[in-house]
A and B are shown apart, each in its own frame.
Chain A
Amino acid sequence: MDEGYANLPTSHLLGSVPAVTPEERKPAGPAEAATSRLQQFPPAPGATGGGYQPPGSPLDGDVETQTNWKGYFNVASYAPYFNVDTDVVVDRLISSVYPMDGFFRKIDANPDMYGPLWITTTLIFMLAAFGNFATYLMQRKTDLNIWNFDVGYFNWAATVMYGYAIVVPAAFFFLFQYFGSRPSLVRFWCMWGYSLFIFIPASILLLIPVEFLRWVIIAGAGGASSWFIALNLKECTEGADMMVLIASASVLQFALALFIKVFFFA
């Protein structure tokens, strides 16, 4: 079953366009195939027949070398990471808010990149927009009329959020590998991405112009997020001697929460 996708009969007809395989035919199928396929990132092109398939190369023989680097530029090779439906995504979002909900078990078979991508993008917009709005409300309280929309918030938000969501899981992936455990980069990205979801409702609540309340809210959100990271890291690496790494991951998450409060919602 795992080799099913590579051995689709149409894969051997190089130069022809394989038939589009409908998504709803295999509700449980992607789970099994995905387990093996999604260990390495990125997968080779032509891995699945889902949806979009560019025409194969007419040249035979060097398919092997082709798959090594052309997989990076091929849209179809990333399609397995977006193989989720609306209800699946909503379910994962909700379970990311309650740290004890067994999130890692849910994404283990089918980690998706849709969540992290759009959660970070939404968060960027929210931070920039509500950060500006919150600064405006605070300045109105002190009766100053010099508030200007600071478009730099968009740039800062984009840099910080995309940088955090991409670099931190990758760094921890390498650290975990160095210390002997066997993590999976895609699952790390997926998990860290979903851990940022709680900051979206938090940033809405941070509009309240009461300073003490803001600190309480951000501490709550940061704490929940760090706890989520710690629990899921522990579950996926199953190692008791990784405590230092897990602790540092939680601390980093809390530091992000503080940064959000200090920079955007001053």
Chain B
Amino acid sequence: MGAKQTRSAQKYQDLTDKTGFSPEQIKNLHKRFQQLSDNEETISRENLEKIPALANNPIRKQIIDAFFDKRNQHQNEVGAFQEIGFEQFLMVMSHFRPPTLKTTEEEREAMRKEKLRFLFNMHDTDNDGTITLEEYRKVVEELLSKSGAIGLEAAKAIADAAMLEVASTNVPHMAPDDFYEGITFEHFEQILKGLEMESRMHIRFLDVDTMTMRCGKSKS
């Protein structure tokens, strides 16, 4: 018992350093991980797809894919996992940590970049470094996927208009024959500057072990 505890404490310490979560948060997330994985070591896409609350989410597939995306592990790898362990799970979750009072300006900038990178990876499915018109259309279509036929028709127009906006913001003077390849990461950062990602893209991670952590998957 004692040995096991020190081992897990050690592991948690590593994870704390790597991801920035506090030990209590890691413990809670680990509990959740074990719930999702049926007490196995890894989870697969099916485990996540079984969460009932996610069923209503229009971008469910993208979210699940993001967990299995190698790019989000910051190891300079590409491709997708088939299954992920707790550490990878935690790495993905760490993108959603909020800034604290002690976060300096540089850290905030880095945090914003990291979060924007996460979003960018979600859109850039073929990993060519740009979000092409097709990919962007797909994004908007997915967003409107729960809205039926109205959504699909307008999705194209919206995506086109959005792309046009990005292009005209970042490369204002294009000759009629120039072609705008796609949204690069810099352009992406530029257009989403106003949203202040570091203050918006976060969720509350519980410090305290409370009973509000309900089991999200069906108990079957």
Q: Do A and B bind each other?
A: no
The chain B residues found within 8 Å of chain A, CB to CB, are none
Q: Which residues of A contact B (CB under 8 A)?
A: none
